[in-house]
Structures are given as structure tokens and as C-alpha cells.
Structure 1
Amino acid sequence: MRPMRSKFSQTRRSVPSLNVASMPDLIFTVLFFFMIVTHMRSDEVKVRLQVPQGSEVQKLANKQAVVNIYIGHKGEAWHVQLNNDIVQPGDIPARIEEIRSGLSQENQQRLTVSLRVDKKAPMGLVSEVKRQLQQAYALKINYSATEIKK
């Protein structure tokens, strides 16, 4: 008499092992890639300002072509800060041209100036900054505000 075999055989299958020897190389390559490609830019704000609130706030899409101008007070006087440097309004056209020359042709046409102005800043100073921006042909201006929380 033959031994009875079940319909379902119980053979053990082995799971192939995963070779992880090259995993650290891969991780460091990806990390290095993102360190090279990512463009992080942050300004050190040297003036104090209280940004006004707005209800129709939108984020800028292409931040590579954005120049930040802060108008706020440092001590008792009002100052203008362009990116990381405190400047006089008359210096703005030359600085904008310097920044524009460092951008690609496509970003030169997309150049946007983001004005972050204290809500109590004198309008004469803001008007002077805008007039200097017109002289530098930096005509795309964005006013920064914080969104009103509902």
C-alpha cells in the first residue's frame, strides 16, 4: 500500500536574500544630488518690521527670480534692506542690475521684487523705493503680507 499524499504539498520555499551592500552608496549619491540641486536662499532680516495682514494672499511660484526688499526701522530710523544689505534708495538701481546680471536669461525676464514693508512705514520712503525700481526697470512688484486667520 502506498502512503497517502495530500493534494497540497507542503514544500518550503526559500525567500531570496536582498543584497544591501550598495545601499549606503546609493543613499549618499541621492543626498549629494539634492544638496547640489536644491537652491536654498534665506535673508537675514536686519530691520524690524511688522508685516500687514491681507485677505487675498498668494505664494510666489518662481522664487529664484525674486529680490526681497525690506523696509523697516532699526533703532529710531527707517532703513531699506535689499536682500542681505542695508542700502540707500539711490543705490537700488545699480544693485538690481547687479542681481539681474547674475540670473539666467529666462529669470531676468521674470524678475520680481517682493516688498516687505512695515505697516507704519512712511509712504514717502516706499514711493522713493518704487521710483528707484522704475529706473532699474524692475516693474514686477509684489507686496508681502501675512494671511488673515479666520
Structure 2
Amino acid sequence: MSKFKKKKSGDLPAISTASLPDIVFMLLFFFMVATVMRENELSVENNLPLAGEVEKLSDKNKVAFIYIGKPNEKMQKQFGTNDVVQLGDKISSVKQVQDYVNTKRNKMNEDEKDEFLVSLKVDRNSKVGILTDVKQELRDAYALKVNYTSKEGNSMKNIKK
């Protein structure tokens, strides 16, 4: 009789799952860092003007964005080719600006309401009339801190020849 038994051929060792949680957390961390959350889906053309003195907003949670421009190709059948106002994800009338701003402000904490800011993202080819109407609605809503969003660059390139 022999003391040693021969190994049976074809048996595979058990797979170790000790490192599996590390791999799962590493993938989770990667996707959390690499994923970009969308703010709004633009329904208007938004070719921003250039400006020389540009500052980044420190806290976008305290900002309500209003987009002004011509509807993009998908929306032109429904809204035509005149300038429109986009509040959040939908195209709205100028009269709804006041309700939109008040709703955004009321969702904020009481301490942060003093820091509430409205950022206007106006297409460089938009008419001034609709912008004036939006600014009047903002005054009526007591949203007096207004910011104009632009791209950094030479502002002289904004002038049409």
C-alpha cells in the first residue's frame, strides 16, 4: 500500500472571491467620477458671446438658468424661428419667467435665498426685445441679481461686419 494518493487529473482548484468586493468598489468609484450629470437639454440655439473678463460661478446650486435663442431644428416645427425662452427643460413664454424664478427660490433653504442668482444664457444672435421682456419679469419677481453667461475670448469678435 502506498502512502501517497495520485491526484485525479482534471480537477480545478476553487476560485477565490476574496478580491471581488475590491473590484466592485473600484468600478463603482470609476463610474461615479467619470459620469457627467446633465443640467438641461437645450431646445434653443445657444452660441454664447465672447467676453474678456470671465469669472466662474462658485455654487451652481443657487443659480436659476434661463436660455434665450432661436429654437433648434427639432423644435422649429412647433415654435417657429423667432427667439424663445427656455426655462429648465422646456420652452416657455416670457410670462412664465416670474413663476419659474419664484419656484426655484422657494425650493432653497432660507439662509441661501439671499445668494440666489439668475444666469441668462443668451444666444449672440438674439434680439434685445425678448431679453428686455425677461429682465422686466425678473424685476417683477424681485430677482435682482442677474448674471450674463459668456465664453472667454476677444469680445471684439462679437461685432458683425
- TM-score bracket for this pair, using the shorter chain length: 0.7 to 0.9
Q: CA RMSD in A?
A: 2.8
User: One-letter code of the match for 2:144?
Assistant: L
CA contact (8 A) 1:115 1:144 kept: yes
Number of aligned positions between the proteins = 127
Long gaps (5+) in structure 1: 1-20
Residue pairs, 1:42-121, within 5 angstroms: 42-74=39-71, 75-121=80-126
Gaps of 5+ in 2: 1-17, 72-79, 155-161
SS in 2 for 1:116: strand
Corresponding position of 1:8: none
- For the pair 1:144 / 2:141, whether they are aligned, the reply is no
| Aligned equivalents of 2:49, 2:56: Cα separation in 1 | 16
The answer to whether the 8 Å contact 1:49/1:71 transfers is yes
| Contact 1:64–1:107 (8 Å) recurs in 2 | no
* Residue 106 of structure 1, CA deviation: 2.5
Residue in structure 2 matched with residue 4 of structure 1 by the alignment: none
**What TM-score do the two structures reach when normalised by structure 2?**
0.67
Poorly superposed stretches of 4+, deviation over 4 Å: none
1:9 aligned partner: none
Partners of 1:71 and 1:121 within 8 A in 2: yes
Percentage identity across paired residues of the two chains: 38
- Cα 1:134–1:23 shift into 2, 3 Å: farther
Q: Deviations over 1:54-104 (max 9, x none)?
A: 000110001101111110001512110012121111111111111111111
User: 1:78–1:121: 8 Å Cα contact kept in structure 2?
Assistant: yes
For 2:108 and 2:124, the matched residues in 1 are separated by: 31
- State the 1:111 CA deviation: 1.0
1:53 touches 1:145 (CA, 8 Å); kept in 2?
yes
For residues 7-22 of structure 1, what are the structure 2 equivalents within 5 Å? Answer: none
Larger radius of gyration: 1
